[in-house]
Amino acid sequence: MQLESGNSASIITHKGITPELHPSVFTAHGVVIVGDVEIGEDSSVWFNSVIRGDVNYIRIGKRTNIQDMCMLHVTNNVWSLNIGDNVSVAHSVTLHGCTIHDYALIGIGARVLDGAIVNSDTIVAAGAVVLEGREIPPGTLAAGVPAKVIRELTDDEINRVRSTPNNYINYASVYKKEFEKHIKKQRKI
């Protein structure tokens, strides 16, 4: 039996720079974090995601979730990757040298490319591709290949964007508690 401790990432120093994770950050098994990366309080990085700050820096804010199998990278000396607070990056997303502002939701399998900007209270739909240098306005839904603004978000959708990070904080807490319970049980044996 194997349980997830929430501290399972491979943290790799590159060019003398070691990733800096707030002590509350949850990292699942299979996660690799390399180089000039900072991750804020109560954020989480889920199974088999890669965050590679080897040729530029990556900054991830507070209460942000990077879900399973995401790829986060940068462009050599040109485009860093900046992700704000309370952002949800869904399963199998690729973020490359872009900026994601607070309270955004990037849908399953989406791609956001170099120099693109996703503003707050925004959803990038599953499978969408936000091309280089494009900007998605606040409060909108962008979908398609290439991604285009489809419409403004409803109040319910904005509430979903804003509540999803709390769900992931709770999921991480459940994993940590289960692990701690197992360790306490093992100590009694």
What average pLDDT values come out for the chain (189 residues) when binned by 10 residues? 80 97 96 98 98 98 98 96 98 98 98 98 98 98 98 97 97 92 77
152-to-4, 14, 83 alpha-carbon distances in Å = 39, 42, 22
Q: For 171-187, how does the pLDDT look when each residue is reduced to its tens digit (9 = 90+)?
A: 999 999 988 888 787 77
Contacts of 122 (CB under 8 A, 6+ apart): 101, 103, 104, 105, 136, 137, 138, 139, 140, 141, 142, 153, 161
Q: How many other C-beta atoms lie within 10 A of the C-beta of residue 93?
A: 26
Contact 87, 111 (CB under 8 A): no
Q: What is the pLDDT of residue 183?
A: 77
Share of the chain above pLDDT 90, in %: 89
Q: What pLDDT score does 166 carry?
A: 97
φ/ψ (deg, to 5) at 71: -125, 115
Instruction: Answer whether 0.85 is exceeded by the pTM.
Output: yes
What tokens were used for 37? 């990366």
Residue range 130-150, pLDDT digits in tens: 999 999 999 999 999 999 999
Helix (H, G, I), strand (E, B) or coil at 31: coil
